[in-house]
Amino acid sequence: MASLAHASPTANYYDSVNPTHAATLRATLHEVIDDHQRFPYTSSATDTWDILEEADSDPTDFTSILDVYGNASLPKFGGGGGGYNREHSWPKSYGFPNDGSQNYPYTDCHHLFLSDEGYNSSRSNKFYDYCDLNCSERTTLANGGVGGGAGTYPGWSNWTATGIWEAWLGRRGDVARALFYLDVRYEGGLHGGSLADEPDLILTDDASLVAVSGTNAAVSYMGMLSVLLQWHLEDPVDAWERNRNDVIEGYQGNRNPFIDHPEWAGCLYADQCATGAIPAPPSGLQALRIPGGIDLDWNDNFEADLDGYQVKRSFFPGGPYLDLSPGLVASSEYLDASVQSAFISYYVVTAIDFDGNESPASSEISAPLVVAPPWINEIHYDNSGADANEGFEIAGRAGTDLSGWRLLAYNGNGGTLYGDMTLNGVLVDDGSGFGFLFFAMQGMQNGSPDGLALVSPTGTIVEFLSYEGSLLAVDGAAAGLMSIPIAVAESSSSVLGESLQREGQGSQAADFHWAGSAPHSRGMVNPAQLMVMPVNVPSLSGWLQIIWPVLLIGVGVGRLRSRAGRVG
């Protein structure tokens, strides 16, 4: 049959739409797209087959169609058959299962797509959601520069499990925008022309509301809304989809507005509306501490004139904040690799538009400081005469429970394990915020070289030190690891009652260095060791970093110092 003429929307098609707020957008947009011309599902006259075979034409071969899930180019068959059928992206079993001359969503071509029969059957009435590599894969064909491949999640494939269908990357935005259209087009009430009852179709994230209706229902739900919003961003509108919108408008007389104005999805569902002023504050900010720093992630803003984001950090709740990036951040994620693990960091994000307007800050999120693991703080293994009082000291933050920790002793001759000691006890605060425990280890080998490995309850090697050279462990938890040699040693002339000790100022192992024999300080801070406990507090000049250094000599004498200065 001959194609009906179609074109892009007239300049005044959306003139009555008010996109300043979600509620006004929904109300005014519904009035524009409501009461469309219905065509029968199947008929000898113009029907949905005719419309869809034109709308879903392969742009490289007008005699074929592109199916929505398989990306296959299939010869047009006309009126059914040919290996493809019609897919209701909003399954008809959810609210409008019975076709009839007054069932408008059943035949609404804005949400009908031509689909490979097998894939349509596989999708069935599953709602749209994310899957993973454990789901079943439904591959696509390489066509038009997209599709193809297999075995990598998500790749270019569809993925499915019980009750879930994840549409492939090339068309997931299409189905998302089709469902946005239905959510606005159908709000209950009567059709303005035929006076037919219409359902209220509602998108939701509550899977329990998505239910099969045996008859045409007054209210029906479909999901998942948050997933569809993300798919809308992942698969933007393209020329093929815009042409499809033109074709369907040529028949039904209405358009899918989310193809013409993608930014309206953000206004409608996230209340991020273009008011002619500043962007909306970003939402959903999360912070995760990873080995490389603090990984920040937040929800995308939907403003059409969004230029980017600015990430800000403070060391005190409520600010003041400093910009972290030299320019704008293009995507809704950021890695703060410059953060100091000893401080609690506080973050906010703002959105900036092309005119330089900056949004209010997002809700603040904090990234807790990392409590450094305990460490080996003192070692004694050799002295003049018969070796005596051999052992090692463990230091760390006060309150650390050493239950489950182990100390492995390695022989440098071959790298084999010769001792495995289970530790216990709690590091009791000595007044500095840190604690110290000494463990006797009779028979500690005298080196050249030998080593000690501190192992956490999870089996992680926290430290692998050696004295009088380095060694490669061949068994035990440290197997395959090379030790880190300390730069000092004891010998057969070392004085009994002395030990090798860490010195310097800090709060974790890496802050200190090893020094030669000095009178032992078992169960206490070493004589030349300054323990530092950072705390964030406000001051008039920005932040006041109070440091509690405790310098213990003999039984222990402490003094309090403070350092003030603006961070950054």
Task: For 233-274, write each residue's pLDDT tens digit.
Answer: 999 999 999 999 999 999 999 999 999 999 899 999 988 876
The model's pLDDT over 27-54, given as tens digits with 9 standing for 90+, comes to 999 999 999 999 999 999 999 999 999 9
Question: Region 520-525: what's the mean pLDDT?
Answer: 93
Backbone angles phi and psi of 379, in degrees to 5? -140, 135
Backbone angles phi and psi of 53, in degrees to 5? -70, -25
pLDDT at 340: 65
- Taking the alpha carbons of 520, 521, 526, 528 in that order, is the dihedral positive or negative? negative
- In angstroms, the CA 191 to CA 382 distance is 95
For the chain, the residue count is 568
Q: Which helix (H) or strand (E) holds 120?
A: helix 117-123
**Interior CA angle at 303 toward 297 and 309, to 5°?**
40
pLDDT at 274: 66
In three-state secondary structure terms, 474 is coil
Q: Identify the CA nearest to 255 among candidates 417, 14, 56, 86.
A: 14
First-residue to last-residue Cα distance in the chain: 71
pLDDT score of 123 more than 80: yes
- Please tell me the number of Cα atoms within 13 Å of 448 on its side-chain side: 5
- In angstroms, the CA 284 to CA 302 distance is 14
pLDDT at 46: 96
Secondary-structure class of domain 375-518 per CATH? mainly beta
Q: At the topology level of CATH, where does 286-367 sit?
A: Immunoglobulin-like (2.60.40)
Residues spanned by CATH 2.60.40.10 within the chain? Answer: 286-367
Question: Region 266-291: what's the mean pLDDT?
Answer: 83
* Type of residue numbered 126: K
The whole-model pTM stands at 0.57
- In angstroms, the CA 419 to CA 452 distance is 9
DSSP 313-379: EESSTT---EE-SSS-B-SSEEEETT--TTS-EEEEEEEEETT--BPPPPPPEEEPPPPPPPEEEEE
